[in-house]
Structure 1
């Protein structure tokens, strides 16, 4: 059960943390928030380990992933999408171009504009990574009971709502 009591300043709270899933424990919003964030972070870190190329930095992999999902983007668009400055993205893109994972091409009607596109090698890395991540997660989900999978499906819908809010 969840109570809506939350600590006003959890940074100064020195009481031991009780897990939201401890038997018989009524979780506060603060406890659930903490446990959810920690579990989500751990799962995300574990899934990030399942990638096709371990030589790419996190920022390089993220930028390549954005080009994989979004398609061709300008440097400004990619910087904005990744929430980094254009000079930082320039360094990231340079490394990806050098590795043969991204192509730069000019725009015919604007010689100053450059469009970035994932190369076939870059697309292959992203497809292989998606395949590995989905296989890793599917192996764990199959072990869940049907009721647990329904609960996870419901939680996934809620997580999507939270992410889009």
Structure 2
């Protein structure tokens, strides 16, 4: 019996929801939410990113990213630095980088409990299929 598109879509959503909920639970003792950790992760990979770029990378609106970044600056997790012209860029603070690494361990543990049950070949196939499905038409 083949799965319908709706069944596949629901399975993807259920796994995403499980990851999100459990990651938030495990990040909470670090004082982080999943979206905050994701921002730290993307800022590490994209030093000097603008708020707009961080919003794109973390699937947020520019406005919500602006509010989140302000709170993260106030907590000393990220800092604003001048860029070319009037551009404002962002970078991790040492505290933010420490929390990024600790949060990464927490998120890896969540993913290991689900995706870690797949063989390396199955994970590669799943990754390829998800990338293919996400391509624009």
| Contact 1:52 1:125 survives alignment (8 Å) | no
Higher strand proportion (structure 1 or 2): 1
Unaligned runs of 5+ in 1: 3-26
- Structure 2 residue aligned with 1:101: 77
Q: Measure how far apart 1:134 and its partner are.
A: 1.9
2:47 corresponds to which of 61, 68, 71: 71
- Structure 1 residue aligned with 2:106: 132
User: Which string of whole-angstrom CA distances, capped at 9 and with x for unpartnered residues, describes residues 50-107 of structure 1?
Assistant: 327543345433333321232221233333444312x433322221111111111113
1:32 corresponds to which of 1, 4, 8: 8
Write the mapping of 1:107-146 to structure 2, written as runs, cut at 5 A: 107=83, 109-110=84-85, 112-138=86-112, 144=117
Q: Measure how far apart 1:164 and its partner are.
A: 4.3
Q: Measure how far apart 1:42 and its partner are.
A: 1.6
Higher helix proportion (structure 1 or 2): 2
- Structure-2 separation of matches of 1:93 and 1:140: 30
- Structure 1 residue aligned with 2:61: 84
Alignment coverage as a number of residue pairs: 134
Relative contact order, higher structure (CA 8 A, sep 6+):
2
- Structure-1 separation of matches of 2:54 and 2:25: 23
Q: Scaled by the length of structure 1, what TM-score is found? A: 0.63
- Structure-2 separation of matches of 1:29 and 1:90: 36
Q: Give the greater-gyration-radius structure (CA).
A: 1
| CA shift in 2, pair 1:36/1:52, >3 Å | closer
Q: Report the aligned-residue RMSD.
A: 2.9
- Structure 1 residue aligned with 2:27: 51
